[in-house]
Chains A and B, each alone.
Chain A
Amino acid sequence: MIKTTYSDAKLSERIVSATLPNGLKIFIAEKPDFKSNFAVFGTKYGSIDTAFSVGDEPYTAVPEGIAHYLEHKLFESEDGDAFTRFSATGASANAFTSFDRTCYLFGCADRFEENLDILLDFVQSPYFTEQTVQKEQGIIGQEIRMYDDSPNWCVLFNMLEAMYENHPVRIDIAGTVESISHITADLLYKCYDTFYNPSNMFVCIAGNVKADELMKRIEKAIKPTAPIVVNRADFSEGTDVKCRYVEKRMEVAKPIFCFGFKEQCEGERTLKERIESGILMDVLAGGISPLYESLTDKGLINDEFDSEYFNGNGYSVVLFQGESDDPQAVCDAISAEIERLKRDGIPQELFEAARKGTYGMAIKGYNNVETIAMNLVDCAMAGFGPFDDLEILRNLKKEDVEARLALINTESSVLSVILPKR
């Protein structure tokens, strides 16, 4: 096991990483003065991985929502569930599935090593039978219905569905009541054996721990498995959108909108590109921007307004979300501001305020063990170092951000609106 130690000139943080011979990536941040600890055991496997193959095998297509279903089922074992085991230690455990990852996690102050053993064990111990798989359909069906009542969730997925022809980012993470009805124990094992191979997984920890000791503990707990090569179907597509406007009526107080520009994206964005686009969002529509001020003064947006650079493998969207009585006017103003900044350039002082603000927020992240561990998950997923973001931010130029701005095609936009029922 070859270990790498990371540090930053300004921060008094020590982070150690290693990759085991079977490919498992480990990142550990030592926070010796903290009482709390946070650990994540995860896999680069999310709702977008709907078709895949191992080695030379033909591609397998699986039902929508299966990654999330698998996450639910993994908590169960033949002799009880993982929550019960964590209950005995006082830890607070959870899990989530997103577009590109599934993470199992816990936070605790006491008995960290015991909790880590439970985490490493249950994630490596699948137990699915047709009967237990069947039983979960009711619970997940209820979860899907709960999200069906969430306007912020619906407005995003309606936009993605209108924006993407084929890419599975367009489907709901939990799937549909219909799609999950096709999930079987065999399919769950197939997905598990493919994506829960250590070569596709990571363990990220932050807390009052000693990295060297933990590395050994993790290595011992990981079952011997040969690394595999997973091929993920390529769903990348051009910047054409299916439909530029979608709407739905729900029980909301005023119209909720999600507006996005689709970008050309093969594979994944680099860390530098993500940071540049993040700063661009602040310059374009953050609290420091002329646009935000003008939209607020006109009463077109409220403090729900937010922007995000939303991206992953094969998808990339410059995205704005909020509430407005006139969503179209907000979108027109955003598009006009993009064209104006393309023409006039980004003012240096605006860029500086955004850069310094982003830098400060990155350093603030080291106040909290959960934030650190989740940031390390990003490192493990995308293959960058823990402090690379700070170095990029220190050296970033306005021209780098302007180059990202130039890539936005204002014709490749989708506006999704949830209108009030009454």
Chain B
Amino acid sequence: MPQKFNLASGVDGLFIEDSRFNTTLISFNFYVPLRKETYSDYALLPYLLSSCCDECKTFRELNTRLGNLYGATISANAIKLLDFQCISVSLSVLNDRFSIDGKSIVASAAELLASLVFAPSLSDDAFREADVERERAQMLDRIRGEINNKRGYARGRALSLMFGDDPYGLPRFGTEEDLMKVTGESLFSAWSRMLREAYVHINVIGEKLPEGIFSAASAAFSAIHRENVTAFSGYNMPNFAEPTTECERMDVKQGKLVMGFSLGRVDSEKNTSDIMVMSDIFGGGPYSRLFTHVREKLSLCYYCSCTALRSKAIMLVDSGVEAENAEKAQKEILGQLEVMKNGEFSDDQFNSSIRSICDSLKSIGDSQGGINAWYASRVFDGSVATPEDVIETVKKVTREEVMAAAKQVMLHTVYSLMPQEDAK
């Protein structure tokens, strides 16, 4: 069972003791309000923090340190979660017993992680210009490079269309325009605000709690005047844009069709489980309605599957489809949703789905990354459910509850990326 420690105002530490792994994972997760005006600063910040610090001023110095710590890895990202942006900087490091020369690895790596978070490389009250420009250029490439992966690009476009001006509709890495406004000063201000106001959740997963890690974090945060700490004010209904249909043309061989649906209210572990089972029977595994009917029986798509995003009460169906089949595929996908609503899915499909979801949930605890992601995404849940708790809820889901969940589903947005018309 996870052990939770309160380290400072709005700063919690979670230690999950697990001696099965050869590594220790330490993850700093900062939750700040999701707002357009601060989005790009916060999106860039984790990349900047994880590229250098006052102690290792260049990326190469940092990487050499990590290499010598037996390939310790730092990962950083910022994701949207409910009405928040979650900024993470994480470390995965080999346990001390594997050291060839007998020197401690974990404590040194943990200190390095703390330096990245609390002691970045600064010039007065700003991040250094050269570092900012380097990371800005990388981020610009990430934003523009979204188009390289057509499936991901199409999903991102559908999300943006669904949410319109709501900050949840912002592209994953933010917009070029906002990125250009970021400065060393604005990043410094975002970093200081994050340390002052973010709700902070530090996850440690490993055979033992590295000595002093939580006390050091506690001391660091206690030295900061913590105020206006991000608080969860309940689940809010998503702020959707007007429903829309958009077709974009590009020089591609295979088309992409993404359909965005709203799911109604998702505010408890119980109706989350109903939705999980419903969306899985609809378009999860190879037993699903979309796979067996739209892909296998009708051969309309190379892939056709659906994912539910519980944090925003939406579901996306995405498919790779030939242009001439797109209309028919859309009709068949909606037809399968009717099957779900009418309870015309088979008992086999229902049972396969429950078994498959439970099997996947059981495996989460076998990966440090999986455990970290599980708890990082549930910090606002009050009493935090373990994967085992959710398994028990999923097992109790009935056919009627699946039908009821399907009846809440409404088509909102259709986005398609299709070959140029003259290429047909």
Contact = CB atoms under 8 A, between A and B. Distances in A.
Interface stretch (B134-142, B166-174, B219-227, B231-239): B134-142
B70 A252 contact: no
Interface stretch (B81-89, B249-257, B267-275): B249-257
A299 B358 CA distance: 47
Interface in A275-303: 282, 286-290, 292-293, 296-297, 299, 302-303
Interface stretch (B180-188, B307-315, B360-368, B372-380): B360-368
Contacts of B254: 142, 145-146, 148-149
Interface in B70-128: 70-72, 92, 94, 97-98, 100
B20 A288 contact: no
Contacts of A304: 141, 145
Contacts of B6: none
Nearest to A90: B355
A372 to B, nearest CB: 11
B287 interface: yes
B98 A299 contact: no
Contacts of B192: none
B299 interface: yes
Contacts of A354: 67
A293 B58 contact: yes
A149 B252 contact: yes
B286 interface: yes
Given A35-B362, A92-B359, A139-B299, A356 B70 contact: yes
Nearest to A86: B286
B418 to A, nearest CB: 12
B71 A148 contact: no
B352 A288 contact: no
Interface in A27-58: 31, 33-36
A227 interface: no
A36 B363 contact: yes
B356 A251 contact: no
B253 A91 contact: no
B345 interface: no
A145 B363 CA distance: 34
A364 B145 contact: no
B244 interface: no
A353 B366 contact: no
A34 B366 contact: yes
A35 B363 contact: yes
B404 to A, nearest CB: 24
A89 B348 CA distance: 11
Contacts of B137: 299, 302
A359 B59 contact: no
B323 to A, nearest CB: 11
Contacts of A361: 71
A40 to B, nearest CB: 16
A368 B366 contact: yes
A251 B252 contact: yes
Given A10-B98, A90-B359, A145-B254, A360 B72 contact: yes
B262 interface: no
Contacts of B23: 364, 367
A252 B147 CA distance: 6
Contacts of B94: 360, 363-364
Given A89-B355, A145-B253, A253 B145 contact: yes
- Most chain B C-beta atoms within 10 Å of own C-beta, residue among A11, A88, A150, A288: A288
Given A286-B63, A363-B94, A302 B22 contact: no
A91 B356 CA distance: 6
B59 A146 contact: no
A360 B96 CA distance: 11
Interface string B6-27: 0000000000000011110000
Interface in B54-70: 58-60, 63-64, 66-70
A358 interface: yes
A382 to B, nearest CB: 23
Contacts of A139: 299, 302
Interface in A369-422: 369, 394, 421
Nearest to B144: A253
Contacts of A286: 63
B156 to A, nearest CB: 14
A362 B180 CA distance: 40
Nearest to A108: B359
B322 interface: yes
A83 B292 CA distance: 10
Given A288-B60, A364-B22, A146 B147 contact: no
A143 interface: yes
Nearest to B361: A109
Given A92-B359, A360-B72, A33 B148 contact: no
Interface string A134-171: 01001100110110111110000000000000000000
20 contacts: A36-B366, A84-B287, A90-B355, A92-B359, A142-B301, A142-B320, A145-B322, A148-B253, A251-B252, A256-B148, A293-B59, A293-B60, A299-B134, A299-B137, A302-B138, A350-B64, A360-B71, A364-B22, A368-B367, A421-B251
Given A302-B138, A302-B142, A368-B367, 7 more contacts: A110-B355, A139-B299, A149-B150, A149-B252, A352-B68, A363-B94, A367-B23
Nearest 6 pairs of A and B residues by beta carbon: A360-B70, A90-B355, A360-B71, A353-B67, A253-B144, A357-B71
